[in-house]
Amino acid sequence: NAGVTQTPKFRILKIGQSMTLQCTQDMNHNYMYWYRQDPGMGLKLIYYSVGAGITDKGEVPNGYNVSRSTTEDFPLRLELAAPSQTSVYFCASSPQAVSYEQYFGPGTRLTVT
Protein backbone atom coordinates (compact mmCIF):
# COMPACT_ATOMS: atom_id res chain seq x y z
CA ASN A 1 0.00 0.00 0.00
CA ALA A 2 1.23 3.47 -0.89
CA GLY A 3 -1.03 4.98 1.80
CA VAL A 4 -1.85 8.63 1.12
CA THR A 5 -0.07 10.28 -1.79
CA GLN A 6 -0.05 13.96 -2.67
CA THR A 7 1.10 15.86 -5.73
CA PRO A 8 2.85 18.15 -6.31
CA LYS A 9 5.42 18.25 -3.49
CA PHE A 10 6.24 21.92 -4.11
CA ARG A 11 4.62 24.69 -6.10
CA ILE A 12 5.06 28.42 -6.54
CA LEU A 13 2.01 30.33 -7.72
CA LYS A 14 1.55 33.92 -8.71
CA ILE A 15 -1.24 35.93 -7.11
CA GLY A 16 -4.50 35.26 -8.90
CA GLN A 17 -3.49 31.92 -10.40
CA SER A 18 -5.40 28.73 -9.71
CA MET A 19 -4.29 25.18 -9.09
CA THR A 20 -5.45 21.79 -7.88
CA LEU A 21 -3.66 19.81 -5.19
CA GLN A 22 -4.11 16.10 -5.74
CA CYS A 23 -4.65 13.54 -2.98
CA THR A 24 -5.14 9.79 -3.38
CA GLN A 25 -5.43 7.02 -0.80
CA ASP A 26 -5.41 3.29 -1.41
CA MET A 27 -6.66 2.12 1.99
CA ASN A 28 -10.36 2.26 1.10
CA HIS A 29 -10.95 4.83 3.83
CA ASN A 30 -14.28 6.60 3.91
CA TYR A 31 -13.05 9.79 5.55
CA MET A 32 -10.62 12.20 3.93
CA TYR A 33 -9.39 15.60 5.07
CA TRP A 34 -7.45 18.62 3.91
CA TYR A 35 -5.39 20.64 6.38
CA ARG A 36 -3.07 23.58 6.14
CA GLN A 37 -0.15 24.18 8.48
CA ASP A 38 1.42 27.59 8.82
CA PRO A 39 4.88 27.94 10.45
CA GLY A 40 4.75 27.36 14.21
CA MET A 41 1.03 26.69 14.10
CA GLY A 42 -1.19 23.68 14.44
CA LEU A 43 -2.93 22.09 11.50
CA LYS A 44 -6.22 23.71 10.54
CA LEU A 45 -8.96 21.74 8.82
CA ILE A 46 -9.99 23.18 5.46
CA TYR A 47 -12.52 20.61 4.19
CA TYR A 48 -13.37 17.03 4.89
CA SER A 49 -15.38 14.26 3.26
CA VAL A 50 -17.23 11.34 4.82
CA GLY A 51 -17.54 9.43 1.57
CA ALA A 52 -17.78 9.77 -2.19
CA GLY A 53 -20.09 12.64 -3.11
CA ILE A 54 -20.18 14.13 0.40
CA THR A 55 -18.02 17.04 1.53
CA ASP A 56 -18.23 19.61 4.29
CA LYS A 57 -16.41 22.72 5.41
CA GLY A 58 -13.83 22.73 8.14
CA GLU A 59 -12.44 25.63 10.10
CA VAL A 60 -10.82 27.62 7.23
CA PRO A 61 -12.63 26.86 3.93
CA ASN A 62 -12.57 30.31 2.32
CA GLY A 63 -10.64 30.40 -0.95
CA TYR A 64 -10.77 26.63 -1.45
CA ASN A 65 -13.05 24.07 -3.05
CA VAL A 66 -13.10 20.28 -2.97
CA SER A 67 -14.83 17.40 -4.68
CA ARG A 68 -15.02 13.68 -3.91
CA SER A 69 -16.15 11.69 -6.92
CA THR A 70 -14.43 8.47 -5.83
CA THR A 71 -13.42 6.89 -2.52
CA GLU A 72 -9.75 7.19 -3.47
CA ASP A 73 -9.41 10.81 -4.62
CA PHE A 74 -9.99 14.10 -2.83
CA PRO A 75 -8.56 17.04 -4.79
CA LEU A 76 -8.32 20.54 -3.31
CA ARG A 77 -8.83 23.49 -5.65
CA LEU A 78 -7.38 26.94 -5.02
CA GLU A 79 -9.04 29.68 -7.02
CA LEU A 80 -7.44 33.13 -7.29
CA ALA A 81 -4.41 32.35 -5.12
CA ALA A 82 -3.48 34.91 -2.47
CA PRO A 83 -0.27 35.29 -0.38
CA SER A 84 -2.29 34.26 2.70
CA GLN A 85 -2.59 30.80 1.15
CA THR A 86 1.16 30.25 1.38
CA SER A 87 1.35 27.19 3.60
CA VAL A 88 2.01 23.47 3.77
CA TYR A 89 -1.05 21.45 2.79
CA PHE A 90 -1.62 17.97 4.17
CA CYS A 91 -4.20 15.48 3.02
CA ALA A 92 -5.25 12.71 5.41
CA SER A 93 -7.63 9.78 5.55
CA SER A 94 -9.19 7.57 8.20
CA PRO A 95 -11.54 4.58 8.17
CA GLN A 96 -14.06 6.45 10.29
CA ALA A 97 -14.09 9.77 12.12
CA VAL A 98 -13.50 10.85 15.67
CA SER A 99 -12.00 7.81 17.34
CA TYR A 100 -9.69 6.68 14.59
CA GLU A 101 -6.14 7.48 13.58
CA GLN A 102 -5.67 9.76 10.59
CA TYR A 103 -3.04 8.82 8.02
CA PHE A 104 -1.31 11.76 6.41
CA GLY A 105 0.24 12.31 3.04
CA PRO A 106 3.72 13.88 2.74
CA GLY A 107 2.36 17.38 2.13
CA THR A 108 2.49 20.04 -0.57
CA ARG A 109 4.52 23.18 0.08
CA LEU A 110 2.80 26.08 -1.65
CA THR A 111 4.17 29.59 -2.01
CA VAL A 112 2.05 32.38 -3.47
CA THR A 113 3.98 35.46 -4.54
Partner 1 sequence: RKEVEQDPGPFNVPEGATVAFNCTYSNSASQSFFWYRQDCRKEPKLLMSVYSSGNEDGRFTAQLNRASQYISLLIRDSKLSDSATYLCVVNINTGGFKTIFGAGTRLFVKA
Please identify, using beta-carbon distances, which residue of 11 and 44 lies nearer to partner 1: 44
Please identify, using beta-carbon distances, which residue of 14 and 99 lies nearer to partner 1: 99
Q: In the range 20-59, which residues lie near partner 1 by CB under 8 A?
A: 33, 35, 40-45, 48, 50, 56, 58-59
Q: What is the DSSP string of 58-85?
A: -S--TTEEE--SSSSB--EEE-S--GGG
Residues in the interface with partner 1 (CB under 8 A) total: 23
Which amino acid would we find at residue 33?
A: Y
Please identify, using beta-carbon distances, which residue of 80 and 97 lies nearer to partner 1: 97
Query: What minimum distance in Å lies between the beta carbon of 50 and partner 1?
Result: 8
Please identify, using beta-carbon distances, which residue of 26 and 79 lies nearer to partner 1: 26
Decide if 110 contacts 90 (C-beta within 8 A). no
> What is the Cα 1 distance to its own chain's centre?
20
Asked if 85 interacts with partner 1 (CB under 8 A), we say: no
Pairing of strands 76-78, 87-94: unpaired
Q: Which residues bind partner 1 (CB under 8 A)?
A: 33, 35, 40-45, 48, 50, 56, 58-59, 90, 97-99, 101-102, 104-107
